[in-house]
A and B are shown apart, each in its own frame.
Chain A
Amino acid sequence: MEKIKLSVEHCKGCYLCIANCKPGALSISKEVNAKGYLVPQVDQDKCVQCGCCYTMCPDLVFEIF
């Protein structure tokens, strides 16, 4: 089930989301966006939809379903 959506085109690679994801559902992927940042990826199974990534992200990348 898709619990969370990432609009990684807005990402600026600060990784505050990863630092605040307690269940460890987020990690740095191998994908580089058009701005040149290595963007985060999510393990949907590990996500508990706590919203901490949304709350910390300065660039509106996250949407939780």
Chain B
Amino acid sequence: MVPKKAPELFYDESRFCGGCGHGIFNRILAEVLEEMDIVSDTIICSDIGCNHQFQFWMNVDAIVPPHGKMGAAITAMKRVRPDKNIMTIAGDGGAYAIGIGETTSAALRNENVVMFVMNNTLFGMTGGQLAPTTMIDQKVASAPLGRTVEDNGQNTDVFKLMGDMDIAYLARTSVTSPANIMKTKKAVRKAIEKHQAGKGFCLVEVLVPCPTNWHMTPAKSMEYIDEVVSKVYELGEKIDR
């Protein structure tokens, strides 16, 4: 059923820009935590970046490791507190650039943790610089003529990176429409249920807009995800064990 009222765990307004996808994802996760009645049994590991501002409006237990080190931090958190649901809300910069070692190492060990990675194709907080997810030819602040393989290397597609790994769940969704938001919600719930069943490493990448650094209106940003970003980064479930 479609909810009708904002989750109760929000205690303030968000600090995100208007039309930012992080706000939509925060609400989706809050709805799932409340529907599963696990708010007080959950610890969310933060990244650094716009994404980390979830803790300034959501009343949840949170831990903030250095930028990108979520893969290591959630491993430790789960080992110390196996009774808690352990997850992270990460940026694509954090998870796949500075934190790529920690992210892939946690996946290679098939740690029983959940990563929600917000893919907005760039570094949002610092002004829209190139991230591993910046697409070939996409123009960003630090690649004004567009990304090239020669100068910037190939872009990172987590389906290619982890598609053959022995992990529990790997999915990609978006937030461009009510239907896609419901799919994201289902994937979030599925990942948390696998986590509770001890299945292992779960990663859900969510394609989210950053209208500010994309220099687009929020509505146009959603079209851009549907027409361009999700053609490069395929939606769906890649691994489901």
Chain A residues with CB under 8 Å of chain B are 10, 12-16, 19-20, 37, 50-52, 54-60, 63-65
Contact = CB atoms under 8 A, between A and B. Distances in A.
B18 A20 contact: no
Contact of A55 (B2, B13, B23): B2
B181 A60 contact: no
Given A14-B218, A20-B177, A58 B3 contact: no
B84 to A, nearest CB: 26
B224 interface: no
B13 A56 contact: no
A54 B3 contact: yes
Interface in B58-74: none
B27 interface: yes
Contacts of A52: 178
A12 B219 CA distance: 13
A16 B219 contact: yes
A26 B233 CA distance: 32
Contacts of A59: 13-14, 18, 23
Given A51-B3, A52-B178, A56-B24, A37 B18 contact: yes
Given A14-B19, A54-B4, A60 B27 contact: yes
Interface in B10-25: 10, 13-14, 16-24
Contacts of B3: 51, 54
Contact of B178 (A55, A58, A65): A55
B211 interface: yes
B13 A58 contact: no
Contact of B23 (A50, A58, A64, A65): A58
B21 A60 contact: no
Contacts of B14: 58-60
12 contacts: A12-B19, A14-B18, A15-B217, A16-B219, A51-B178, A55-B178, A58-B20, A58-B21, A59-B14, A59-B18, A60-B27, A65-B4
Nearest to B223: A19
Nearest to A53: B178
A49 B6 CA distance: 15
Contacts of B222: 16, 19
A64 B27 CA distance: 16
Most chain B beta carbons < 10 A, residue from A52, A55, A63: A55
